[in-house]
Chain A
Amino acid sequence: NAGVTQTPKFQVLKTGQSMTLQCAQDMNHNSMYWYRQDPGMGLRLIYYSASEGTTDKGEVPNGYNVSRLNKREFSLRLESAAPSQTSVYFCASSGQWTSGRYEQYFGPGTRLTVT
Chain B
Amino acid sequence: EDQVTQSPEALRLQEGESSSLNCSYTVSGLRGLFWYRQDPGKGPEFLFTLYSAGEEKEKERLKATLTKKESFLHITAPKPEDSATYLCAVQRESSASKIIFGSGTRLSIRP
Interface residues of A (CB under 8 A from B): 4, 31, 33, 35, 40-45, 48, 50, 56, 58-59, 90, 92, 94, 97, 101-109
Contact = CB atoms under 8 A, between A and B. Distances in A.
A107 B98 contact: no
B32 A102 contact: yes
Contact of A107 (B43, B46, B49, B100): B43
B31 A104 contact: no
B45 interface: yes
Interface of B: 4, 31-32, 34, 36, 41-46, 49, 87, 89, 96-104
B43 to A, nearest CB: 3
Chain A contact residues, majority secondary structure: strand
B97 A108 contact: no
A42 B46 contact: no
B44 A48 contact: no
Contact of A105 (B31, B32, B46, B104): B46
Contacts of B41: 109
28 contacts: A31-B97, A33-B97, A33-B99, A42-B101, A42-B102, A42-B103, A42-B104, A44-B101, A45-B98, A45-B99, A45-B100, A48-B98, A50-B97, A90-B43, A90-B44, A92-B43, A94-B97, A97-B32, A102-B49, A103-B49, A104-B46, A104-B99, A106-B36, A106-B43, A106-B44, A106-B45, A107-B43, A108-B42
A110 to B, nearest CB: 10
A87 to B, nearest CB: 14
A104 B43 contact: no
Contacts of B45: 106
Contacts of A102: 32, 49
For the complex of A and B, 6 pairs with smallest distance between CB atoms: A106-B43, A43-B101, A42-B103, A42-B101, A106-B44, A48-B97
